[in-house]
């Protein structure tokens, strides 16, 4: 039953949504409105589940003094303090919540993302070697696109931004389209398998 | 044990990554600390968004929606875009709504609005409205619901006020009126807007994305599913320039900004080292006339263009590293062939 009931819910609702997409009848529209209300009511529970799950995982680590349990303590304290600051003082400019966002989250996130520039520079130096004809084409394309992205490219030659745009518009687009069509067909096939109950891995293991 | 001395060619091939990191850090930090003037060339995907928003100027029955789908990590690229577009709307009296489906984006929306509205006489609920954060699970019902009735799909704004009877909502019911959605993200979130708001309701969709996502979104630009695209920091810098030249322009003929013109854009440059907005007009004979204004050139208004200086130098340094590595590679190969 633990598998049959979710399977039935997915199949019935899945086909109802397919019907809704293609049948513009009042019953279909009413069903859609009904679903919207349900979706609004269900979504807050995802947050509750998330907080419970986070608390259980890190709470266990702290109580058992598992390796690196101190990080778990920081995570739990950050969760409690950030949430409390938002609940107590609100989220407006000048509140502790906004201070935390501007002075803790923003610089930390920006720092992590900015490391990309250093990794790209190091990887480009180590990996971009003209070892074969294909690698040479890739290398030249990369240099042109990089120059096309900055004003210097235009100042060197007005052709550089044009060639850069052509690379993005023609060879890049052909490859992207091929991937997207492949992914799209794969999604349709997987969706059908789920609707028909053939694909059941999303239900997880156990009976 | 005696260490074998590396030849210059070997050094060129095996440069310690720490040296690369130092050079890149210096190449980025110095241009950020000491800004210099470079020309920003405006591309068509950026100009198309500008023109679309500008076509709503002063209209009570049109509005735009800005969807913030990113966290602080992608702020350096996306935040200047958001501030520029908000500034454009405030300058040209375009109704603007904001919304986010990520909890991390909620403070970003407030931060962007507070940054952009400084110096403008704009009011929440009249000139702009923040719908606030909605759980990601509600993204689909909200995107689809706004196609029917925005007030019904969202009900309240970020401060919990009923949006139905707000002044800004007059003449704004669904995507027919809120006819441009700009999604800012470092992911593929734009596809949700294209699939549902564009395909089902015909809404105009535009993207403000990080540079690494540009290649992924080109197909949508070519098909016309995206009316325009702000591509990374470059797109943000281009938009900043457009706002300076057109939306922030004031004279007797155009007290609230002038309309977009390709001809004017070609002739004018706006230096970023000045404290006030200065228009440098290049004449046919190559001479340059400077038109000074009293409009303040705040740091927030030129952030992307300053960032582009750093990006330019960093790109050049990466290209230099690639060339050095390849010279080393070819010389090593040649030496091996010679024995």
Among candidates A167, A195, A201, which has minimal Cα distance to A17? A195
The CA distance from B91 to the nearest CA of chain A, in Å, is 23
Of the candidates B25, B135, B308, the beta carbon closest to that of A150 is on B308
The CA distance from B78 to the nearest CA of chain A, in Å, is 12
What average pLDDT does the segment B234-241 reach?
Answer: 96
The chain B residue lying nearest A22, using CA atoms, is: B200
To which H or E segment does residue A112 belong? helix A106-127
* Side-chain half-sphere exposure of A68, counting CA atoms within 13 A: 2
Residues B227 and B319 in one domain: no
Contacts of A174 (CB under 8 A, 6+ apart): none
Contact list in A for residue B21 (CB cut-off 8 A) is 118, 121-122
The CA distance from A68 to the nearest CA of chain B, in Å, is 25
Question: Across the interface, do B319 and A121 touch by the CB < 8 Å criterion?
Answer: no
In angstroms, rounded to a whole number, what is the distance separating the alpha carbons of residues B291 and B320?
38
- The pLDDT of residue B224 is 94
Q: Note whether A51 contacts B: Cβ–Cβ < 8 A.
A: no
Q: Note whether A41 contacts B: Cβ–Cβ < 8 A.
A: no
- The residue among B247, B268, B291 that closes a domain is B247
Residues B198 and B311 in one domain: no
- The pLDDT of residue A65 is 93
Q: List C-alpha distances in Å: A95 to A86, A90, A98.
A: 8, 7, 5
Q: Which pLDDT tens digit goes with each residue over B180-225?
A: 999 999 988 899 999 999 998 999 999 999 998 998 898 899 999 9
What count of CB pairs under 8 Å joins A to B? 150
> pLDDT band at B4, cuts 50/70/90?
low
Residues B195 and B319 in one domain: no
In this structure, is the dihedral angle defined by the CA atoms of residues A150, A151, A157 and A162, taken in order, positive or negative?
positive
Which tokens sit at A143? 């240099």
- With contact defined as beta carbons under 8 Å apart, do B260 and B51 qualify? yes
The CA distance from B329 to the nearest CA of chain A, in Å, is 7
Q: List C-alpha distances in Å: A155 to A128, A158, B38, B284, B312.
A: 25, 7, 10, 19, 12
- Identify from B156, B219, B237, B320 which residue to disrupt to test chain A contact, counting A C-beta atoms within 10 A and taking the largest count: B219
Residues B139 and B219 in one domain: yes
Q: Note whether A48 contacts B: Cβ–Cβ < 8 A.
A: no
The chain B residue lying nearest A143, using CA atoms, is: B319
Q: Which pLDDT tens digit goes with each residue over B145-154?
A: 999 999 999 9
Is the pLDDT at B5 greater than 70? The verdict is no
- The pLDDT of residue B16 is 87
Q: Note whether A169 contacts B: Cβ–Cβ < 8 A.
A: yes
Residues B127 and B24 in one domain: no
Is the pLDDT at A200 greater than 90? The verdict is no
Residues B144 and B21 in one domain: no
Contacts of B157 (CB under 8 A, 6+ apart): B124, B125, B129, B130, B131, B132, B163, B166
Of the candidates A32, A110, A169, the beta carbon closest to that of B222 is on A169
Is the pLDDT at B9 greater than 80? The verdict is no
CA dihedral B89, B94, B100, B105 (to 10 degrees): 20
Among candidates B170, B181, B92, B90, which has minimal Cα distance to B128? B90
Domain-located, residue B294: no
Q: Which pLDDT tens digit goes with each residue over A151-194?
A: 888 888 989 999 999 998 899 999 999 999 999 999 999 999 99
Residues B80 and B26 in one domain: no
Question: Across the interface, do A117 and B114 touch by the CB < 8 Å criterion?
Answer: no
Domain-located, residue B271: no
Residues B57 and B30 in one domain: no
In angstroms, rounded to a whole number, what is the distance separating the alpha carbons of residues B27 and B25?
5
In angstroms, rounded to a whole number, what is the distance separating the alpha carbons of residues A145 and A127?
17
Q: Note whether A65 contacts B: Cβ–Cβ < 8 A.
A: no
CATH number at residue B97: 3.40.50
Q: Which pLDDT tens digit goes with each residue over B45-68?
A: 999 999 999 999 999 999 999 999
Residue A205 burial (C-beta neighbours within 10 Å; 0-12, 13-18, 19+) = exposed
Domain coverage including residue B307: 8-34+303-338
Q: How many domains does chain B have?
A: 2
Percent residues over pLDDT 90 in chain A: 45
Is the pLDDT at A206 greater than 70? The verdict is no
Of the candidates A43, A101, A113, the beta carbon closest to that of B74 is on A113
Residues B171 and B243 in one domain: yes
Helix (H/G/I), strand (E/B), else coil: A102: helix
**A11-15, B1-5, B91-95, B100-104: least confident range:** B1-5
């Amino acid at each position: 039953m633990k598998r049959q009931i979710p399977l039935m819910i997915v199949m019935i609702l899945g086909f109802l949504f397919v019907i809704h997409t293609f049948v513009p009848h009042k019953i279909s529209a009413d069903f859609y409105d009904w679903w919207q209300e349900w979706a609004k009511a269900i979504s807050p529970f995802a947050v509750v589940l998330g907080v419970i799950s986070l608390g259980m995982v890190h709470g266990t680590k702290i109580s058992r003094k598992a390796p690196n349990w101190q990080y778990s303590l920081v995570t739990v304290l950050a969760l409690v303090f950030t949430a409390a600051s938002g609940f107590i003082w609100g989220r407006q400019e000048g509140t502790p919540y906004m201070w935390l966002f501007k002075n803790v989250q923003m610089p930390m996130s920006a720092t992590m993302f900015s490391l990309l520039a250093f990794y790209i520079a190091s990887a480009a130096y180590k990996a971009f070697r003209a070892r074969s004809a294909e690698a040479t084409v890739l290398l030249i394309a990369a240099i042109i696109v990089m120059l096309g992205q900055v004003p210097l490219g235009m100042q060197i030659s007005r052709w550089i931004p044009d060639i850069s745009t052509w690379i993005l518009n023609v060879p890049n687009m052909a490859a992207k389209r091929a991937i997207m069509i492949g992914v799209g067909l794969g999604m349709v096939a997987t969706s059908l398998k789920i609707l028909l109950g053939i694909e059941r891995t999303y239900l997880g293991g156990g009976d | 044990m005696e260490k074998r001395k590396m030849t210059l060619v070997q050094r060129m091939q095996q440069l310690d990554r720490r040296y690369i990191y130092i050079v890149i850090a210096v190449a980025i930090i110095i241009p950020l600390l000491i800004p210099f003037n470079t020309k920003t060339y405006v591309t068509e995907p950026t100009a198309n968004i500008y023109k679309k928003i500008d076509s709503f100027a002063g209209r009570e029955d049109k509005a735009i929606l800005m969807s913030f789908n990113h966290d602080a990590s992608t702020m350096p690229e996306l935040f200047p875009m958001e501030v520029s577009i908000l500034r454009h709307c405030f300058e040209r009296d375009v109704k603007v709504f904001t919304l986010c489906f990520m909890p991390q984006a909620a403070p970003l929306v407030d931060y962007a609005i507070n940054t952009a509205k400084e110096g403008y006489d704009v009011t929440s609920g009249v000139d702009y409205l923040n719908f606030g954060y909605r759980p990601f699970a509600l993204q689909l019902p909200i995107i689809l619901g706004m196609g029917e009735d925005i007030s019904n799909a969202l009900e309240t704004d970020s401060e919990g006020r009923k949006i139905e009877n707000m002044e800004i909502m007059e003449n704004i019911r669904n995507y027919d009126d809120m006819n441009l959605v700009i999604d800012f993200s470092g992911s593929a979130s734009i596809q949700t807007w294209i699939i549902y708001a564009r395909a089902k309701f015909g809404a105009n969709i535009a993207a403000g994305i990080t540079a690494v996502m540009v290649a992924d979104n080109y197909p949508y630009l070519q098909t016309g599913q995206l009316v325009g695209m702000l591509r990374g920091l470059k797109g943000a810098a281009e938009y900043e320039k457009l706002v300076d030249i057109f939306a922030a322009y004031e004279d007797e003929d155009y007290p609230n900004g002038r309309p977009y013109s390709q001809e004017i854009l070609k002739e004018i440059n706006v230096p970023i080292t000045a404290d006030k907005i200065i228009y440098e007009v290049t004449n046919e004979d190559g001479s340059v006339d400077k038109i000074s204004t009293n409009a303040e050139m705040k740091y927030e208004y030129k952030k992307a263009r300053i960032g582009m200086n750093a990006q330019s130098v960093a790109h050049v340094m990466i290209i230099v590293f690639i060339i050095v590595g390849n010279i080393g590679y070819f010389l090593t190969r040649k030496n091996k062939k010679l024995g």
